Chains A and B, each alone.
Chain A
Amino acid sequence: MIKELIQGLSITFKHLLPGHSTTVQYPKVKLQPSDRFRGLHRLVPSHDRAKCVACYLCPTVCPAKCITVESAENEKGEKYPRVYQIDLLRCIFCGYCVEACPVEAIEMTGNYELANYHRDDFVFDKQRLLNTK
């Protein structure tokens, strides 16, 4: 038992020596998330407008019911989302919307700095989603 106690103490003491810290100094140094990371959503633009065809698959599969889509038709008779809204306060970042999209119009970015001061600021409309890099 004594041996184990000393072994434990020596491990923690070794960590005390300089150069063992693995902390990332967050606001100053930012982590690069992996490609699979599910951060803020982005609507993919195609010829200056959303690629989305307003098929309603994403709000249908969304388990948190946080996506609102309202479709309309343009002058050529094509469907497009007149309203596309994601309420990030309800979103669980599961990525099902991305999986379900038949035209790859929605994807998830590596953006993880999502803090805001007002509830309204967490509702991302079509323009904000299109502007997300």
Chain B
Amino acid sequence: MELLSLSNAPLLFIAAMMIKILVVFGVTMGIVAYATWVERKVIGHMQTRLGPTLTGPMGLLQPIADGIKLFFKEDIIPTEASKIPFVLAPMMILIPSLITMAVIPFGSDMQFTAGGKTYIIPLQITDLNIGILYILAMSGLGVYGITLAGWSSNSKYSLIGGIRASAQMISYELAAGLSIIAVFMLSETLSMREIVAQQSGSIFDWYVWKQPLAFLLFMITGTAEINRTPFDMPEAESELVSGFCTEYSSMKYALFFMAEYANMVVIAGIIATLFLGGWSGPTPWGPVNLLGKIFGFMFFLMWIRATFPRVRYDQLMKLGWKVLLPLALANIVVTGLVVVLAQ
């Protein structure tokens, strides 16, 4: 048995890779489409309404109807906008969140026999040995899209939304990064696959029990990083008239919302992988476990959105710099001490 790679079976490797990419991309986009329906239903019921009911049974065809509508809407580009960045910005937000999914393992190794040889196919698009750093780098890229959208729209609302996004990113990226550091101080690896392997014993091997503070910090900073309520300052539709996406319409506008939901999937996937054992446990089916954890965290994000009002901008800065960052640093010091003493 050997690990399938480009050198030992090139055609098989490329075919397996294509299938994995299609599955991950397809499942992510499927979740993205139906997350919009789930969110409207969940928030509807939480606000004692029903949410979509008319398009298809229980409103299930609503995402398809929305998609068709958005495709046929007039696509407006403001006359004074910088056209190239204006068109590129929505893509720059969506693409980083989709490619982050490449390093999230979604199941245990699969065995495959071809030409008398047995190969191991890892259920992960690629296992980078710097997985976490890749995730941090990619998740930081999305903000370029938001800032660019805000700047290129040639609108004050959009510009303020874009600037808010970058200021918020700086405040939260540090605490997010530091809370993850505590995880790889314990696991002593940056590979997502290895991190899941180390949590694969029982439910009590999950890092959420060993690093509860880091889990909590990453949950808050993750929510802030994907600009979800109560940290949706860049969009802030009530005080900023939709912020960075004020001037967008049609499919470009839809791309922003696809990115928002794709980001939810990604952050849920990262949290599941780093703190909740990834694909391992509690059931024997790896992808089902991961999807269950992703859905669970996405539901939690929707629940929060239905419950809490948006924070004020100064509160957000204060929370980021004065509470989360010191807590993350303290967590690293304590984890370091425990790791050293345990040796």
Contact = CB atoms under 8 A, between A and B. Distances in A.
Interface of A: 5, 8-9, 11-13, 15-16, 20-23, 25
Contact of B307 (A12, A20, A21): A12
Given A21-B49, A25-B53, 9 more contacts: A8-B308, A9-B304, A12-B303, A12-B306, A16-B42, A16-B45, A16-B46, A21-B48, A22-B48
A21 B308 contact: no
B45 A21 contact: yes
Interface in B284-336: 303-304, 306-308
B111 interface: no
B303 A20 contact: no
Contacts of B44: 21
Interface of B: 42, 44-50, 53, 303-304, 306-308
A42 B315 CA distance: 55
Given A9-B303, A9-B307, A15 B50 contact: no
18 contacts: A5-B308, A8-B308, A9-B303, A12-B46, A12-B303, A13-B303, A15-B45, A15-B46, A15-B48, A16-B42, A16-B45, A16-B46, A20-B48, A21-B44, A21-B48, A21-B49, A22-B49, A25-B53
B48 A8 contact: no
A131 B48 CA distance: 39
Contacts of B304: 9
Contact of B50 (A8, A11, A13, A21): A21
Contacts of A5: 308
B45 to A, nearest CB: 5
